[in-house]
Chain A
Amino acid sequence: MGNVLEVKGIRKSFGPVEALRGVDLTLQSGEVLALVGDNGAGKSTLIKHIAGVYRPDSGEIRLDGRKLDLLSPAAARDLGIETVFQDLALADDLSVGANIFLGREPTRRWLGILPYIDNGLIREETAGLLKRLNSHVPGKAKSVARLSGGQRQAVAIARAIYWKAKVVIMDEPTAALAVMERQNVIKYARELAASGAGVIYIGHNLVEILDVADRIAVMFRGAIVHTTTAGETSQETLIKYMTGYHDKQAGAQRPEQEREKRHV
C-alpha cells in the first residue's frame, strides 16, 4: 500500500525553544507506526501538527499526496485524520452511539420539513461496529460515563473505523488502563489497521510497542533519530536512541543515522 501520510522537514519553535528540528515521517495505509521517545522529545508537538492543532514554521504535511494547508482540527477530521486522545474525547453524558456519531449525526425529516437525528440508524450502526470490535461494550448504555477505560477506547476506535479515517493518531491509549484492557486496545489498533487506516501509536511501554507496531520511530530532542521495523529491534536498542546514548558514541554512527532518517 502507498504512503497515506508524508511529513517533510517540519520545523517548529515556541519562542527560543526549538520543539521540532526538521522531522520527516511517512505512514502507510494498514500499518501501525509507533512513535516513541522520552517526555519532551517532541512527540506531542509532532502529532498536533498532523491533527491540525499547530501549523509548522516550515516544512509540509501531505495526505494522499495532497499538501495540507491552514489546517484546523475540524478540517483535519473532515479530511480523515482522527485523533484518539490521551484523555479521551468522549462526552460522558451521551450514549455510545451519540459519541461515535458526535458532530456528524445522520438526520431525517418529519414530513419532509422538520429535521431530527436518526437514532435508529445510529443504534444499528453502533451495534454492528461494537460487534466487529468484539469489545463487550454495552451498546445500549445511556451514557459512556460508566464504561471502563478500555471500553471507552473501543468507542473512540469505533468512531475512527466508522468514519473510515485515513490516519488515526492514538496518543498513549493505554496510559490509565488495567493489563487486560491494554491487550484489548492493542487488538483494536490492529483491527483499525486491518480496516485500512494508517495508525500512529504513541506509547511509553516498549513491550507493548513491540507487540502492536509494524514500524517504530524514535524521537529525541525534536527530531526522529531512528526508524526500524518491530521485528528487527529490541528494547535495548530503542532505549539507547530514546536516551540519546547513540549521540555519545563514535561519530561514525551519525551519518548512518542521518541516512536512515532520510529513508523514513
Chain B
Amino acid sequence: MKDASPRTLLHNLPVESYVVAFTVVLWLILAVTAPNFLTGDNISNMMRQVSISGIIAIGVLCTIIIAGIDLSVGSVAAFCGVLVAQLLSHGLDVPLAIVLTLAAGILIGALNALSVGKLGIPAFIVTLAGLQVYRGLALLISGGMTVGGLPPGIKEFARGSLFHIPNLFLTLLAVAIIVHYFLSFTRTGRYLYALGSNSEATRRLGIPVFRITLIAYVLCSGLATLAGILLVSRLSVASPSMGNAYELQAIAAVVVGGASLFGGRGTVLGTVAGAILFTTMSNGAVLLDVDPFWEMVLEGLLIALVVYLDNLQKKRLSGV
C-alpha cells in the first residue's frame, strides 16, 4: 500500500475541498475590494441570508445521496409557510400551528417516498408534479393573497440572535450538525449512501430500501417545511410566491458542494459551504455593484467550473 504518495493524498482530499477553497478565496478578494464586506453587520446579514437556503439544501442533499431528487422544496416551503400563517391567523397557538405544519410537511415527504419507492415513478417526475401541486395549494389556501396579521412573536425569532449570532443561523447550524451526525455516524445514514451507490446490492443485503427512501424524502420535505416557517418569521407575512426557484439554488449548492447527481456522494459540510458560496457571490455582487445579469452568468459558470474540477480530480486519480 502506498498511502503516502501524493496521488493517494489528493485522493483523500475531501470532496468538498474545492468549494471551501473557492469560498475562502472569494472572501479574501471581497475583504480587500469591498470596504463594507468584513463588517459585523454584513456578516450577520449573510448569516441570515444563507440560513433558509442552506436548510433547504441540506434536505435536498439527502434525496440526492440516494440518487433521487426533490424539485418540490420551494413550493413545499411556500405551501407550508402559507399554511402556518393561516393556522396562526385563525388563532391557533404558535407551537400547535408549527407542529401541525411540520406534520403536513412530513406527510408530503411520505407521499413522495411512496410514489418513488412503491409506485416506481421517477423522483424527477414525482417532485416536478409536486412543484406545481404545492404551489397551487399555496395559492388555494391563501386565495392568492398575502397572509398577514400574524402574532408579533413570530417575527421576533428571525430577528433575534444569541451572542451576536442570528437565531436563523443557529437553526441552520443545529440542522447541519444533526444531519451530519445522521449521515456520517449512524447505520441508517450510511445506508442512504449505499442505496444511492448500488440500490440492487443494498436490497440484496437485506437493508430495508423503502424505509431508507422514506427517511430521505421525509427529511427533505420536513426541512423544506421548517424553511417555510422560517421564511414566514423572516418576512412576518406569508406569500404564495415565496420560495420561488429555491429548488434550483438548493441543487446548485449541493452539487457545488461535491455531491453526485448519480447518488452515493455528498456531505453536509460541502452543501453548507456551497450555500455560503452562493450567498457570498450574491452579497459581493451588490457590494461591488456587479451588473445583476453578469452575476447570473458568473453563478452559472461557477457551477460548471466546480463540477468540472471535481470530475477532473476523479479522472486523474482513477488513472484514466
Contacts and interface: CB of A to CB of B under 8 A. Distances in A.
Most central of A102, A116, A141 by chain B CB within 10 Å? A102
B163 interface: no
A78 interface: yes
A141 B3 CA distance: 9
7 contacts: A72-B206, A73-B203, A91-B264, A93-B263, A102-B207, A138-B1, A138-B3
B238 to A, nearest CB: 36
Interface in B172-195: 181, 185-187, 190-191, 193-194
B185 A102 contact: no
Contact of B204 (A78, A85, A94): A85
A75 B194 CA distance: 19
Contact of A142 (B11, B186, B260): B11
Contacts of A72: 206
B318 A92 contact: no
B313 interface: no
Contact of A91 (B3, B181, B201): B201
Contact of A92 (B198, B205, B206): B198
A30 interface: no
A90 B201 contact: yes
B202 interface: yes
Interface of A: 72-75, 77-78, 83, 85, 87-94, 98, 102-103, 105, 107, 114-117, 138-142, 145-146
A149 to B, nearest CB: 14
Contacts of A107: 187
A94 B187 CA distance: 13
Contact of B193 (A94, A103, A145): A94
B234 interface: no
Contacts of B54: none
B317 interface: yes
Contacts of B206: 72-75, 77-78, 103
A118 to B, nearest CB: 10
A249 B93 CA distance: 88
B193 A91 contact: yes
Nearest to B185: A116
B1 A83 contact: no
A175 B222 CA distance: 45
Contacts of B11: 141-142
Report the contact-size class of chain B (Cβ under 8 Å from the partner): 20 to 34
Interface string B1-17: 10100001001100000
Contacts of B202: 91, 102
Contacts of B265: 93
B1 A139 contact: yes
B49 to A, nearest CB: 32
B197 interface: yes
A245 to B, nearest CB: 36
Contacts of B156: none
B193 A105 contact: no
Contacts of B260: 93
A85 B193 CA distance: 20
B196 interface: yes
Nearest to A88: B201
A80 to B, nearest CB: 13
A89 B201 contact: yes
Most central of B194, B202, B207 by chain A CB within 10 Å? B194
Lowest 10 CB-CB distances: which A-B pairs, in order?
Answer: A74-B206, A93-B264, A91-B197, A89-B201, A116-B185, A103-B205, A93-B197, A91-B194, A91-B198, A105-B187
B200 interface: yes
Nearest to A77: B206
A142 B12 contact: yes
A116 B194 contact: no
B240 to A, nearest CB: 39
Nearest to A115: B186
A114 B177 CA distance: 13
Nearest to A72: B206
Interface string B21-60: 0000000000000000000000000000000000000000
A100 to B, nearest CB: 11
B19 to A, nearest CB: 18
B318 A146 contact: yes
Nearest to A119: B185
B76 to A, nearest CB: 28
A105 to B, nearest CB: 5
A128 to B, nearest CB: 14
B205 A74 contact: yes
